[in-house]
Amino acid sequence: ARSILEITGKLKGLSGADLRREIARVLDLSGLVSHADRRTGSYSKGMLQRLAVAQAIMGDPELLILDEPMLGVDPAARVQMREIFLELRRGGKTILFSSHELYELERVADMVGMIYQGRVMIEGWVKELLKQDALGMRVLAEVLRPQYITPSLIQSIEGVRHFELEGSRLRVEFTEGLDGREKLSEVLVNCGAGLIGLSVVNPTLEDLFMDMVRGAAKS
């Protein structure tokens, strides 16, 4: 890794003590200090991704453009990559990257744009896009007897836009501005499903994306 970074630094116009300091900086930021003198052929996928990021940040650029930086990496490597991006963001750097890892994007990105079938369908500040009042209420109910829950039963509740039943957990999405918790509780109790608990869950970027896909399918 060190020799690769030396070549990268020279291509970016660094030399001598400046080059050595920059190599030390990016190795530390990418968490590769203890692996700097190993052959990259022995690196894991996550380590190779971190090395690629280390190359990209050589010379301390203000803007980074990355393509799927978390693709194919294990959970531990994702945490490490996330920390790198957060540290760069704290340093005032701008990072533009493509990703299908919506959960990770939600944790590191300030703004997102979502593309579907070749068109930008959604873009904006993450915090604004994920407001409950903009996406509609999401409710998670846990029941004792899920076999009593039928699609027609849930669809009969006013304002239900989408629902999913997985085991004993029922997730229901309501249309914007509607609080259907009381009616949902009543229906679940009356049908014999047995309500254990009910809570409002925060929407995610995945929710936003699926709303977009379902909306596109209907249009």
**How do the domains of the chain map onto residue ranges?**
2-98, 132-203
Indicate whether 219 pLDDT > 70.
no
Structure confidence by residue, pLDDT tens digits, 151-172: 999 999 999 999 999 999 999 9
- What are the angstrom distances between the C-alpha of 45 and each of 54, 70, 82, 113? 14, 10, 15, 27
Three-state DSSP at 98 gives: strand
pTM of the model: 0.68
* Residue 68 to residue 45: CA distance in whole angstroms: 13
Helix, coil or strand: residue 23 = helix
pLDDT at 12: 94
At 59 the pLDDT is: 92
Please report how the helices 45-56 and 75-90 are oriented relative to each other, as an axis angle in degrees rounded to 10: 20
3-state helix, strand, coil in the chain (%, to 5): 50, 20, 30
State the sign of the Cα–Cα–Cα–Cα dihedral 99, 90, 52, 76. negative
The rounded Cα 71 to chain-centroid distance in angstroms is 12
Rounded Cα gap, residues 213 and 218, in angstroms = 9
* pLDDT over 90 (residue 70): no
Whether 2-98 and 132-203 share one fold: the answer is: no
Domain 2-98: CATH superfamily is P-loop containing nucleotide triphosphate hydrolases (3.40.50.300)
Domain 132-203: top CATH class:
alpha beta
With H, G, I as helix, E, B as strand and everything else as coil, classify residue 175: coil
Contact assessment for residue 129 and residue 112, using Cβ atoms and an 8 Å cutoff:
yes
Percent of the chain with pLDDT over 70: 98
> Taking 70 as the threshold, does the pLDDT of residue 132 lie above it?
no
| Terminal-residue alpha carbon distance, the chain | 50
Say how far residue 186 (Cα) sits from the centre of its chain. 35
Contact 26, 52 (CB under 8 A): no
User: What's residue 46's pLDDT?
Assistant: 86
- Give the pLDDT score at 134: 64
